[in-house]
Amino acid sequence: MLTAQKPFTYSSLLSYTHSFLSQGPSREWWDNLSTAPVPNDRPAHRNAASCGSECAADPACLQWSFSQTVCRHADYIKLGNSVDRENGGQGEFVSGWDTGTLRSMGFGVEGDKGERKFYEGCLDATWLSPTVR
């Protein structure tokens, strides 16, 4: 018996690797490897919230990071890695992703009502099997 299954796509994989986004659009003590510093005269360098707000207002920005009063944006998506809470005595380190833009690009999994949402985990694994058409 054949059953209709949704295809496994890159957006499904990214939703799995970035599953923490179901808990919120930013993560403390995390470096998502954003590299493009925002110009110095911008208010984005005040704090992490300002950095995230400017990313949301920039159509090319998909993710941001804030540390040591420096805001960085990126036009790509990377997972990154954790930052030691000591951070060399440099203070907070926060990274975030523009979840609205990511959803509009198809990032995530399709919910029961057709909405895009981020993967929240599963109770049982569903293993994929190759098929020949």
Tell whether domain 25-110 is in CATH 3.50.4.
Answer: yes
For the entire predicted model, the pTM comes to 0.74
Q: How far is CA 121 from the centre of its chain?
A: 16
13-38: average pLDDT: 84
How many Cβ atoms sit within 10 Å of the Cβ of residue 37? 13
Of 78 and 2, which is predicted with more confidence?
78
Q: Which residue has the higher pLDDT, 118 or 103?
A: 103
Q: What is the four-CA torsion angle of 81, 85, 89, 93, rounded to 10 degrees?
A: 50
Is pLDDT above 70 for 6? Answer: no
What are the residues facing 65 on neighbouring strands? Answer: 72, 95
Mean of the per-residue pLDDT values of the chain: 80
Kindly report the number of other CB atoms within 10 A of residue 130's CB atom.
4
The answer to whether residue 1 scores a pLDDT higher than 50 is: no
Tens digits of residue pLDDT in 72-89 = 999 998 889 999 887 666
pLDDT digits (tens, 9 = 90+) for 100-116: 888 777 776 666 776 66
Which segments of the chain does DSSP mark as H helices, in order?
10-17, 48-57, 99-104
In this prediction, residues 4-12 reach a mean pLDDT of 65
Q: Are 83 and 29 in contact (CB under 8 A)?
A: yes
